[in-house]
Amino acid sequence: MPLRPIEYVAAKTVQEAVTSLAEKGDAARPLAGGTDLIVQLRGGRRIIDRVVDLKAIPEMNELTYNAQTGLRIGAAVPCYRVYSNADVARAYPGLVDAASLVGGIQIQGRGSIGGNLCNAAPSGDTIPALIAHSAVAEITGPGGNREVSVEEFCTAPGRTVLQAGEILVAIRLPAPAANFGACYMRFIPRNEMDIAVVGVGASVVLNGNTVTACRIALASVAPTPVYATAAGAALVGKEATEDNMNAAAEAAQAAATPISDMRGTAEYRTHLIGVLTRRALRIAIQRAKEA
Amino acid sequence: MAISKTHVRTTLNGEATEYLCEPNQSLLEVLRDVLLLTGTKEGCNDGNCGACTVNMDGRIVDSCLVLGVEAEGCKLMTIEGVATPEGLHPIQQAFLENAALQCGICTPGFIVATKALLEKEPSPTEARIRHWLAGNLCRCTGYDKIVKAVVDAANTMGGKK
């Protein structure tokens, strides 16, 4: 089925994109990789008059990493660029796990991390990983610039904190502490090309075998990705033992409000949260020890 | 809404190629309906099956999820750019010899995707091949023959170096 007629604007600057989007309000939508947007337009799930392509804006394509200041990912940077960069892959293993399993190679060549966040699917794989890495969204709009932590960015399925005319410009991840490790994993019935039944992102900082910081976030278990603060807190100040990981996994289960649908029942999802939280923590801890 | 056509300049299969398209036409529709290059197939039209895979600036993409206007300035390669006047590409030959196709609808996408893999990684493992081709669906072969063909093509292409 062809797309409804649309107007295509290739913005050259962030300001031009903001102006072009603000003119049309809800009838305009920014375009990065298009791997969600074009599907939604074709299926009639989103009806708009204008797409504003962000890919010609230099800032939107920047991927910069500095060991002191951290990582800045322009909102249109496709997934493959994140896992193709050796420095980034070393410093942000949880994000690399997620970027490597969004769709297949064709999707990763085009779909952006920023788009995955703005699409705000409860199952968006990169979102729990971004939360585990303490990422912050840089937003520009008609009213100026603001920043929102990624755990506060999604407000409902497909909805975000972005107001009319506002766009995500970049996602910033702080430089990892010494002895930092992270992991994202999901459960799907096949190996590739599927939507998470449950996804878990976890990060830890170790001092010896003691966990000094821990963040755990979940996908596909609530209307938005969930930052399970109590689950991370359950491990802080504790030894990285199986018993303590079990306590964190139970807290993660308690933070979720899963539904039953064609991908799994609520009970099954709750079980998976426990299993995946323990597994993701084990890998994050192992990576922290090797860091 | 009256929207005029956009003039798009690309390099398609090594040749400077210009076309006019409307902003709501996908690159797949442009290739098939405007440029009449019908080797690229439409399968699911939503990014799941990979039948419409083309190479865009060195990366494989689903052309159903790209707007024709987005290809401005891009280097594109489709299945029509794989064989030469001298004959089939070794990947195409390997697909034939290994019976890696039956109905053939998925084949152009598999071959374009395979070419991108082998140009980057000349000797991929079987696991790597299966992972790389996960975005291409085949409902006939059961995949084993496709994977064998890719291994075979990798060996042939490696042997020619």
Domain spans in chain A, listed from the N-terminal domain onward: 7-53, 180-290
* pLDDT > 80? residue B88: yes
Q: What is the pLDDT of residue B161?
A: 43
| Chain B residues near residue A39 by CB distance under 8 angstroms | 46-47, 65
Q: Give A291's pLDDT tier (boundaries 50, 70, 90).
A: confident
Higher pLDDT, A224 or B158: A224
Query: What are the pLDDT digits (tens) for A236-259?
Result: 999 999 999 999 999 999 999 999
Q: Which fold would CATH assign to domain A180-290?
A: Enolase-like; domain 1 (3.30.390)
Q: Is the pLDDT of residue A265 over 60?
A: yes
A11 inside 8 A of chain B by CB: no
Domains of chain B: 6-81 (3.10.20.30), 90-159 (1.10.150.120)
List CB contacts (< 8 A) between B48 and chain A: 193
| φ/ψ (deg, to 5) at A139 | -120, 140
Report the alpha-carbon distance of residue A231 to residue A281 in Å, rounded: 11
Check if A104 contacts B (Cβ < 8 Å): yes
Kindly determine whether residue A38 and residue B67, on different chains, have CB atoms separated by under 8 Å.
yes
Tell me how crowded residue A188 is: count the other CB atoms within 10 A of its CB. 17
Minimum-distance CB partner of B65 among A2, A10, A34:
A34
pLDDT at res. A177: 95
For the segment A256-264, the average pLDDT, to the nearest whole number, is 95
Residue A57 Cα, gap to closest chain B Cα (Å): 13
Determine the Cα–Cα distance for residues A31 and B97; give it in Å rounded to an integer.
Answer: 42
B10 pLDDT exceeds 70?
Answer: yes
Res B159: pLDDT = 61
Output DSSP code: residue A240: -
Instruction: Read off the amino acid at residue A133.
Output: H
Sign of the Cα pseudo-torsion (A42, A43, A47, A52, in order): negative
Cα separation, A72 vs B151, in Å, equals 38
Cβ–Cβ < 8 Å for A166, A140: yes
Amino acid in the structure at residue A221? V
What is residue A2's predicted lDDT score, i.e. its pLDDT? Answer: 79
Confidence of residue A17 (pLDDT cuts 50, 70, 90): very high
Amino acid at A141: G
Could you tell me the pTM of the whole model? 0.96
pLDDT in tens, A108-155: 999 999 999 999 999 999 999 999 999 999 999 999 999 999 999 999
Q: Which of A106, A108, A110 to mutate to test the interface with B (most CBs of B within 10 A)?
A: A106
Angle between helices A266-290 and A242-255 (to 10 degrees): 140
What's the rounded mean pLDDT across residues B79-96? 97
Give A150 to chain B, closest Cα distance, Å: 26
pLDDT at residue A32 in the model? 98
pLDDT at B3 over 80: no
Q: Please provide the CATH number assigned to the domain covering A7-53.
A: 3.30.43.10
Could you read off the pLDDT of B29-52 as tens digits, one per residue?
999 999 999 999 999 999 999 999
Question: Does any CB of chain B come closer than 8 Å to the CB of residue A107?
Answer: yes
State how far residue B17 is from chain A, nearest Cα, in angstroms.
Answer: 20
pLDDT (tens digit, 9 = 90+) per residue, B108-132? 999 999 999 999 999 999 999 999 9
- Crossing angle of helices B144-159 and B90-97, in 10° steps, is 140
β-bridge partners, A190: none
**Which residue is listed with tokens 């932590």?**
A149
Whole-number average pLDDT of chain B = 95
3-state SS, residue A61? helix
List pLDDT tens digits, range A166-183. Answer: 999 999 999 999 999 999
Instruction: Please tell me the distance from the alpha carbon of residue A72 to that of residue A64, in angstroms, as a whole number.
Output: 5
